[in-house]
Amino acid sequence: MPKGYMYILECSDGSYYTGSTKDLARRFMQHATGNGANHTKKRLPVKLVYVETYTRIDTAFYREKQVQGWSRKKKEALIAGKYEKLLELSIAYRDK
């Protein structure tokens, strides 16, 4: 049984919010009703666009922090399931 989730929400302005939680349904409702993070409450409505499940919440939290540091293009590749693009999108422009 999953003990943690890393999720990505798409906000009404097209921005992404990345979070982690033990209870995905409860946390999504908090965001959807304006009782979640400051970022999402100012950009309602929100849509759940991606979820990963983990057996430990600390692993989900670590993954959240990792994905938060990603570029928009890299997050969009993850959401679209284009995993083969993730490595390419990890290379800094100056290193190409």
Domains in the chain, CATH or no CATH each: 4-70 (3.40.1440.10)
The pTM is what?
0.91
- Give the pair of three-digit tokens for residue 84: 């083969």
pLDDT tens-digit readout, 24-64: 999 999 999 999 899 999 999 999 999 999 999 999 999 99
Q: How many helices (H) and strands (E) does the chain have?
A: 5, 3
Contact status, residue 7 vs residue 20, Cβ threshold 8 Å: yes
End-to-end CA distance of the chain: 42
pLDDT in the model for residue 68: 94
d(CA 67, CA 16): 11
